[in-house]
Amino acid sequence: MFNNKVVIVTGASSGIGAAVSLLFAKEGANVTIVARNLAKLTDIGKKIEATGKKPLIIQADISKEEAGTVISKTIDHFGQLDVLVNNAGISSQGSIMNGKIVEAYDEVMKTNVRAVIHLTSLAAPYLAKTKGNIINVSSGAALRPSKEPTSASYHISKAALDHFSRCAALELATVGIRVNTVNPGPVDNDFFTNNGGDNSLKSDHKKIMEDLTALGYLSTNEEIGRVILFLASDKARSVTGSSYCIDSGILLKY
């Protein structure tokens, strides 16, 4: 489905990003994988290489100006760009009343929103050439306020990401680029512990999240990845400016 298309995936060192990178490679794509942790990226890179598609590995912090090299190195290496998956994301804790919301907001927005805007602006000229598309990995958090006050900045960032995606979809439609978001609910991966959650509470956290969903189970990384592949493919050629929820029905119930 993606034979010799070139795909960039940020946040590819774990979770959804690692899974979707592998799925793209299995469908014939050349993949650039990006994250800060080189050891984890190298491990994922080996799994991708086993599909016969050698990935370009770029260690970069996308919240910093060095993110610009992600696009230029991909073009130098693969010669074109067809799909940009802005998947890297973090959460940071701080509420209005505990006095830490500004700190949390600044940290989260740099990665979850500013970096996406930065990479979009650098990628757009190349995506216009291939009539490519962008998938932004948002969250169900974009669609409702946080019930946990300390997570407010995460919800704000994902709502901003959805709205940026709609603005970008409208502007970039003029040059043939589609822009969509996927909005996962709880996913069975390490996002909770990677973002300061207590590892010893991981299984309790999983059970709590399962009980909050209508279906009673969490999504897998691959399930989110398959929706990303659909939106990135020609099967979705008339889909742009959309937010696709994959959340086991958590928004229906909680």
Ligand X SMILES: NC(=O)c1ccc[n+]([C@@H]2O[C@H](COP(=O)([O-])OP(=O)(O)OC[C@H]3O[C@@H](n4cnc5c(N)ncnc54)[C@H](OP(=O)(O)O)[C@@H]3O)[C@@H](O)[C@H]2O)c1
Query: What residues make contact with ligand X under the rule CB under 6 A?
Result: 10-11, 13-17, 35-37, 40, 61-63, 87-90, 111, 137, 139, 184, 186-187, 189-191, 194
Region of residue 176 (phi > 0: left; psi between -120 and 50: alpha; otherwise: beta): left
Give the three-state DSSP class for 240. Answer: coil
Of 106, 41, 121, 229, the closest CA to residue 246 belongs to 229
Shortest reach from residue 243's CB to ligand X, in Å:
12
Q: Name the residue nearer to ligand X (CB basis): 43 or 49.
A: 43
CB nearer ligand X, residue 30 or residue 151: 151
Residue pair 4/30 in contact (Cβ under 8 Å)? The answer is: yes
Residue 38 one-letter amino acid: L
Smallest gap, in angstroms, from Cβ of residue 13 to ligand X? 4
CB of 237 to ligand X, least distance (A): 25
Marked catalytic residue, from 105, 126, 154, 254: 154
Which helix (H) or strand (E) covers residue 59, if one does?
strand 56-59
Beta-sheet pairing, 178-184 with 30-35 = unpaired
244 included as an active-site residue: no
Give Rg (Cα) of the chain.
17
Q: Give the nearer residue to ligand X in terms of CB position, either 40 or 129.
A: 40
The distance of closest approach from Cβ of residue 233 to ligand X in the complex, given in angstroms and rounded to an integer, is 20
Q: Which is nearer to ligand X, 27 or 61 (CB)?
A: 61
Q: Which residues are catalytic?
A: 154
